[in-house]
């Protein structure tokens, strides 16, 4: 009997290994960078070279017009991990659900890692390099379950068990994996001038040279101040470090003989962190790179149709042979039956302590933005952004009356129009607002109605309840963590801003 049982166990193990080895499904690898616009050679960037990401584009399909649905980390990530708009699942306020009051996903909404794990995938989230962190710097090998997992930043309650590990190296032989490679991206340059200088020094030492600030091309509303030029140059060096990291991940896949059996999607959660980028709905904040390489993906193709960042979930589930759940808002943009979107949407709500509500709809020609709180300035007080040297520099130049009229108008006017309208292809930086031009009245009204319909159809949860705001602000006032104190300027500035938010709300602003 012991021999029979032993034989059965051996046969069972052999069958499991054979089934795993025979699994025809591709590995699925997401590479998601923080705070990074499409400043890649394949997207037209000329100041720096990005050979590894350009290779990815040459061997796959590049989407030229991909847009995030939320231009700040946690709502964006809460959305794309579920293939849903954050506004539909109540996760649209940045760093929400972190206090006593929690956010739970609606019935039927399941995070992608949990779906793929149930389908037999080995699920992991980390840097893609066992001995390096998300900044591309050395760190101890991560082998234990749950150790040094990559960035999640989800606003809803989730089960950490949906991830098997921080790296695909622990999977069973032949088992396909789903890996989220999370990279620091634009965050590498830090938040102040000293950090930007340090990254410049690192680039000179590790990349054979640093980006020359004199060669930087800024959007027309930013002054060519030395601080801003150094910061943007450091940002471009951050892109170069990101490119190098991607190259090392690709080299690992090649060494392991699995590159051509892996579906790779490279993107970022939103655009560069700047005064009109991250947190805002202009191209600078919402336009993201989106490159797909892998089995069945057209090589060297360029797609000009508009897609949404949440679509990466639908593409991935389809590649794994999983039917898209009913009600999922993401679309499989690689499907033979796919019909391009006529419109894409985005939303920005509370970011840290700063209350805001913006919505946008983009057509092939126009970008329409609605400001629900138009009596507030564009650059509302915000401890996180006001702790950045670039924003401090802009505020100092504004106070000294040294800014050009365009910068004053777009960055520092005390109130904003309730609606904005731009021809976003012709007006790449959205500096000419057409909302008040009678010649565009019909276009404005059509997009206004389309946005209204989207908000109803998708169940936009709207403003944050006071109780939830207070619950999360208690965490902020507690300092949250040493890192957040450093980024956000400390609880004192946060407390002042919370009081201001409540006063403005009471005044109807």
The gap from C-alpha 463 to its chain's centroid, in whole angstroms, comes to 22
pLDDT score of 138: 75
Q: The domain containing residue 31 runs over which residues? A: 25-506
Calpha distance 376→365 (Å, rounded): 28
CATH code of the domain in which 316 resides:
3.40.720.10
User: 444: which 2 tokens?
Assistant: 């404005």
Does 65 map to a domain? yes
Confidence (pLDDT) at 119:
98
Element (H, E) at 252: helix 226-255
In residues, how long is the chain? 509
| CA-closest candidate to residue 128, choices 258, 31, 33, 203 | 31
| Pairing of β 301-308 and β 262-268 | unpaired
pLDDT at 490: 75
Task: Classify residue 354: in a domain, yes or no.
Answer: yes
pLDDT at 486: 38
CB-CB neighbours of 453 under 10 Å: 12
370 in a structural domain: yes
Mapped onto helix, strand or coil, the DSSP state of residue 291 is strand
- Domain for residue 416, yes or no? yes
Residue 7 belongs to some domain of the structure: no
Q: Count CB neighbours of 232 within 10 A.
A: 25
What six digits make up the tokens of 136? 């591309």
Task: Kindly report, residue by residue over 338-388, the tens digit of the pLDDT.
Answer: 999 999 999 999 999 999 999 999 999 999 999 999 999 999 999 999 999
Helix axes of 389-399 and 226-255: crossing angle, nearest 10 degrees: 160
Identify whether 15 is part of a domain: no
Q: Are 290 and 266 in contact (CB under 8 A)?
A: yes
Closest CA to 351 of 28, 63, 76: 76
Q: Residue 458 and residue 343: Cα distance in Å, rounded?
A: 14
Give the residue ranges of the chain where pLDDT is below 50: 1-20, 141-147, 481-488
How many separate domains does the chain show? 1
Is the CB of residue 42 less than 8 Å from the CB of residue 58?
A: yes
Q: Give domain status of residue 479, yes or no.
A: yes
What's the pLDDT score for residue 489? Answer: 60
Q: Which pLDDT score, from 0 to 100, does residue 132 have?
A: 84
In a domain, 246, yes or no: yes
């Amino acid at each position: 009997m012991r021999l029979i049982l032993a034989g059965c166990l051996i046969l069972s193990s052999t069958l499991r290994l054979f089934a795993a080895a025979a699994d025809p499904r591709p590995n699925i690898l997401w590479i998601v960078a923080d705070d990074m616009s499409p400043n890649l050679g394949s997207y037209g960037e000329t100041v720096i070279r990005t050979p590894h990401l350009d290779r990815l584009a040459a061997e796959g399909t590049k989407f030229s017009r991909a847009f995030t649905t939320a231009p700040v980390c946690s709502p964006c990530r809460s959305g794309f991990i579920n293939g849903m708009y954050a506004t539909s699942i109540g996760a649209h306020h940045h760093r929400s659900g972190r206090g006593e009051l929690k956010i739970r996903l609606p019935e039927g909404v399941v995070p992608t890692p949990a779906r793929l794990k149930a389908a037999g995938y080995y699920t992991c989230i980390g840097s893609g390099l066992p001995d390096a962190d998300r900044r591309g710097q050395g760190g101890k090998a991560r082998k234990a379950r749950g150790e040094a997992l990559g960035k999640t930043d989800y606003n809803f309650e989730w089960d950490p068990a949906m991830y098997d590990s921080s790296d695909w190296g622990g999977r069973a032989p032949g088992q396909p994996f789903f890996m989220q490679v999370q990279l620091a991206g634009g965050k590498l340059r830090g938040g102040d001038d000293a950090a930007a200088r340090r990254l410049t020094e690192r680039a000179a030492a590790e990349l054979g040279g640093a980006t020359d600030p004199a060669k930087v091309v800024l959007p027309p509303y930013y002054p060519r101040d030395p601080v801003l030029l150094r910061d943007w140059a450091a940002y471009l060096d951050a892109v170069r470090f990101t490119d190098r990291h991607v190259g090392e991940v690709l080299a690992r896949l090649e060494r392991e003989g699995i590159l051509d059996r892996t579906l790779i999607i490279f993107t970022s959660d939103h655009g560069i962190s700047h005064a009109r980028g991250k947190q805002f709905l202009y191209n600078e904040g919402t336009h993201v790179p989106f490159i797909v390489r892998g089995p069945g993906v057209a090589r060297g193709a360029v797609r000009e149709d508009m897609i949404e960042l949440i679509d990466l979930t639908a593409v991935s589930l389809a590649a794994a042979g999983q039917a898209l759940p009913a009600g999922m808002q993401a679309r499989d943009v690689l499907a033979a039956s796919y019909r391009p979107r006529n419109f894409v949407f985005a939303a920005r709500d509370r970011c840290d302590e700063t209350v805001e509500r913006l919505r946008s709809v983009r057509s092939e020609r126009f970008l329409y933005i609605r400001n629900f709180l138009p009596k507030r300035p564009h650059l509302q007080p915000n401890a996180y952004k006001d702790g950045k040297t670039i924003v401090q520099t802009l505020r100092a130049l504004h106070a000294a009356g040294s800014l050009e009229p365009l910068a004053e108008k777009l960055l520092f006017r005390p109130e904003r129009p309730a609606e904005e309208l731009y021809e976003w292809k012709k007006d790449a930086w959205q500096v000419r607002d057409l909302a008040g031009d009678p010649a565009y009245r019909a276009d404005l009204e059509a997009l206004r109605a389309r946005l209204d319909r989207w908000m109803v159809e998708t169940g936009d949860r709207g403003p944050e309840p006071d109780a939830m705001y207070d619950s999360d602000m208690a965490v902020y006032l507690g300092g949250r963590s040493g890192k957040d104190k450093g980024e956000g300027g400390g609880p004192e500035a946060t407390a002042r801003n919370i009081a201001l938010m409540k006063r403005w709300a009471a005044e109807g602003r």
